A and B are shown apart, each in its own frame.
Chain A
Amino acid sequence: MAGQKKTLLKVIILGDTEVGKTSLMQQFINGKFSQQYKATIGADFLPKDMIIDDKNITMQIWDTAGQERFQSLGVAFYRGSDCCVLVYDVTNLKSFENLTSWRDEFLIQANIKDPDNFPFIIIGNKIDLEEGKRLISTKKAQALSNSLGNLPYFETSAKESVNIDQAFEVVARCALKQEEIMEFNDDYTDAVNINVDDDNYNNCAC
């Protein structure tokens, strides 16, 4: 199964409205920044092929809406995620403070079985904005990442393409690891089915 087949990894980006989720996704996938992206309504995903340690993978990156009212819709798309990226805006305190709620909401709504080991990544975006506007220091953000379980933390600029590829490579690795844990379980059930096929037990005429 792992041989030729491409592994599909589902990654979901969460965070308050306007922190730059859509811009991050676009920068990573299309290498572009535009002032013309609109506020996201509903959810959308874009695929991106990557090679990680000689493995072909396709990352399916899901961008969701940040406004409270439409968050409940995002929930429908949480299931089956292999990794979750939590984004805040380094010049927006509230977006930073809300990270924990986003994480908890995700854990609950996505029905994650092993919440303590699910991979999250924290991104502080818009570091290109002038120093004076910045409200969350690297130190403060790192402290939060540590307290949430040593989560990988990146500071990025979607606008000037700083640290985007690095961040998403770690996202891919984490997702891959998570996916392998899940796949292991899947293979096991397959094996059982094959045994039974040999005995023709599931061809019963009842």
Chain B
Amino acid sequence: MKAPKTFPPGKGQVLYAKSKVYIHVTSNKNDNIPGYLTIVKPFPDSKNDELIISFIPELDLSIEDKTTLDYFDLYGLDGEKNDFYSNNKNDINGKNFPQIIRFIDRPRISSISSYAFGAVINQLYTIQVRPKKTSLWEGSIILHPKQENDKLPALFFHDDESLGTKREQKLKNQNFEPYSENQIGGNSLYWGGDRFISCLKNYATLTESTLETGMFLINCTQEDAMNFVPNILNNDQNKDDNSYDFNAEVNQVLTTAKWNLLTGLASITGFAKKQINNAIDNKILPQSLQKYVERSEVKKITDDFDSASVYLAKWALSVQEEAEKNRKMIIGNEYYKELISVELGDKFIELTPLEVSKAARRGKMNKEDWNKFFDSNGSLQFTIHEIIGQIFHSGLEEDIRKDAWLFLLGVFPWDTTVSEREQLKKSLENNYIEYKNSWKADLTKQENDAFWKDQKVRIYKDLKRTDRDVDFFKSSKGDDSDDDYDDDYDGSYWNEEDEFGNETLFHNKNLLVMRDILFSYNELNYNLGYVQGMCDLLAPLYCVLKDEAITFWAFSNFMERMERNFVRNLSGMKAQMVTLTELVQFMLPDLYVHLEKCDSSNLFFFFRMLLVWFKRELSFLETMDLWEIMWTDYYSSQFILFFALAILQKHSKIIMKTLKGFDGILRYINDLSGKLDVQDLLTRSELLFLKFKQMVELIDRTSAGTSFNSKQAGEPVKPISDELRTLLSKEIVIEKEETRTSETPFG
């Protein structure tokens, strides 16, 4: 068949197409951009070296063009009737022209608004081919343009998704020739990029570098050949001794320089960054995006692509990924599975209803029980471990919380007498007044300090919305809960003012006290400031303790361990989410596998729960039941993670049976709010902790000894990850916010 003399306007002729070629924008597979790799003849009179190699994202294609490319992907140049094997040397200007002549929109060489890109063959320098080696890694290619600073992203061939590649593989297998057509780096199996190389060879000379396998020079000049294919060079020199008179040393330097550039690889970061910078410079983005990128913060980000907002956006991903690093160690590791079932029992890891009911919690500690722990001087007559153990196992009745919490929160040391505590209390009160005065008496601060004023707005906004359903914080202007919302309300009582002449909208003096405590905490911990969620932590404390100064110190001590939840870069939350994910892998492997399938293995839905220790999921009183147990640090300072684990454990059967997607799981877990049985979950938490500890000890014991066991299992023994190990520690994990500077944003 002859080459057509004219093309439809704006179209080019398809010479090759491969479907399901991807750009991996980040390491998260959700960010991958699927598209087609094509070779297109742009004009009827284009020569072989004027063909365009292009990547076209699926989303950029018209339906017509997509159909055309799918057809080419599936059947190739010769159409469905002809043998796939007739791999004739085709030449677009010669006789063996492809049977099938189809056109698509002429691909663009570059595009700012999408990931599309292309290159004319004569502008390409090399092509780097990384064949598929194992089923875990996709094969890929990278095109290197002659313009050294033009970097193009790697293209990955997802063979399992490409209908064309699957068909080719099948045909090859039927013919007992499963191997790659272009032997690169030894025998490899046929893969998606293979055909592309074969096809490209029809239009260009590819010379493989002898310096690195898989690096092909495209229509290379002799000079290039000297640099990259020394063998050729030697041969050529033998033929014609004088033509390449060069200074070997200089050449060597040049070679390395070029090489470094090429092997510096087209990292997508560089690519995207370049795209954005280009776009900013040339003002060719859609208007909305143009404005966005002109903002100085965004400019900063494009300078340092991994900084702030991008880092944060990838937050959830990294939780998942870090946890996955350890995944293979535990899940599906037959050695550990067997070890645990042999040593600890077949179903050790499961909680049976019998186990749970046997371990049921004791009744709460009452005033009488509490008093028995102290002598007439108010000194503890038992060991701290004993009283803590008692509290951990039974919890406290409401009327002793006021006393007991002060010990649990470290306001008073356990080993003090009544009179010592009274003295201590006095000095704490005085200290508090100092913090309080440092803002209350400082009118300049109140009027001029931008940070302080911003904090004030934030604190007001949140206090207004803090536990207004609890009597202690209800509006004095009457109850306007959902049921009896006051229709006659005329708006007037919203104008209540605080002492600064600001509207408070609180109508509750307890909230005003809480405001003072939070302002004062700002003075104590200026770096952290107020962050949403902190008023949730304060409310139960003040409601129980009722004394402003004492509550302030109790809150400050509580914040010691909770500060890690609120630091700006969320690193403390991330660490806990990672640990929880690993704990789920370790203790509930089947559930974890299911969550992975549902895109939920980052356990996103636990974010809020861990941030404010289930305050939003539990009633006000249940929250207190939970927190006082956590404060004992009886087994672990991070026992809260076992409580989270217990929730998953309790619901794992239902989740695995009925829930199939991220939305569904999020909904299900969110809907548990108000339905969590704290006592039952605490029982489970304890059992799970004890099992966890036993398992770790068992694994440690076997790892510590000789490698006898591990050799037998053909598997190196891997220790428990550091994150999991810290769960055995009672030491509070402290992470402080970074020092506030004039650059630090308020939020």
Contacts and interface: CB of A to CB of B under 8 A. Distances in A.
Interface of A: 17-18, 32-39, 41-42, 44-45, 60, 65, 67-70, 72-73, 75-76, 79, 100-101, 103-105, 107-109, 111, 113, 115-116, 128-130, 148-149, 185, 188, 192, 196, 201-202, 204-206
A25 to B, nearest CB: 14
Interface string B153-168: 0000000000100110
Contact of A76 (B316, B566, B745): B316
B607 interface: yes
6 contacts: A38-B465, A42-B608, A69-B747, A73-B604, A107-B292, A206-B173
Nearest to A108: B292
Nearest to A65: B532
Interface residues of B, number: 63
Nearest to A38: B465
Nearest to A41: B608
Given A34-B481, A36-B482, A38-B465, A73 B315 contact: yes
Interface string B280-310: 0000001111011001000000000000010
B313 A107 contact: no
Given A39-B462, A76-B604, A104-B292, A188 B63 contact: yes
A160 to B, nearest CB: 10
B670 interface: yes
Contact of A204 (B169, B604, B746): B169
B481 A107 contact: no
B173 A115 contact: no
B173 A41 contact: no
Contact of A34 (B170, B485, B746): B485
A136 B70 CA distance: 53
A104 B291 contact: yes
Contact of A109 (B313, B461, B670): B313
Given A18-B465, A72-B570, 20 more contacts: A17-B532, A18-B461, A36-B468, A37-B465, A39-B462, A42-B607, A60-B663, A67-B458, A68-B746, A72-B315, A73-B604, A100-B291, A101-B292, A111-B31, A192-B70, A196-B74, A196-B163, A201-B167, A202-B166, A204-B170
A192 B540 CA distance: 59
Given A36-B481, A42-B607, A201 B170 contact: yes
Contacts of B291: 100, 104
Interface in B691-747: 745-747
B570 A69 contact: yes
Contacts of B169: 204, 206
Interface in B596-653: 604-605, 607-608, 611-612, 616
A41 B533 contact: yes
A180 B96 CA distance: 44
B297 to A, nearest CB: 9
Contacts of A108: 289, 292
Nearest to B70: A192
Given A65-B532, A67-B747, A73-B316, A205 B170 contact: yes
A116 B465 contact: no
Nearest to A73: B607
B570 A206 contact: no
B59 interface: yes
B532 A69 contact: yes
Q: Which 8 A-B pairs have the closest CB atoms?
A: A68-B747, A72-B312, A104-B292, A204-B170, A42-B608, A67-B532, A41-B608, A206-B169
B482 A34 contact: yes
Contacts of A130: 491
B399 interface: no
Contacts of B746: 68
Interface in B538-566: 566
B485 A115 contact: no
Contacts of B745: 68
A108 B272 CA distance: 13
B485 A72 contact: no
Given A35-B475, A206-B169, A41 B532 contact: yes
Nearest to A75: B313
Contact of A201 (B59, B163, B481, B670): B163
Contacts of A101: 292, 295
Contacts of A201: 74, 163, 166-167, 170
B375 interface: no
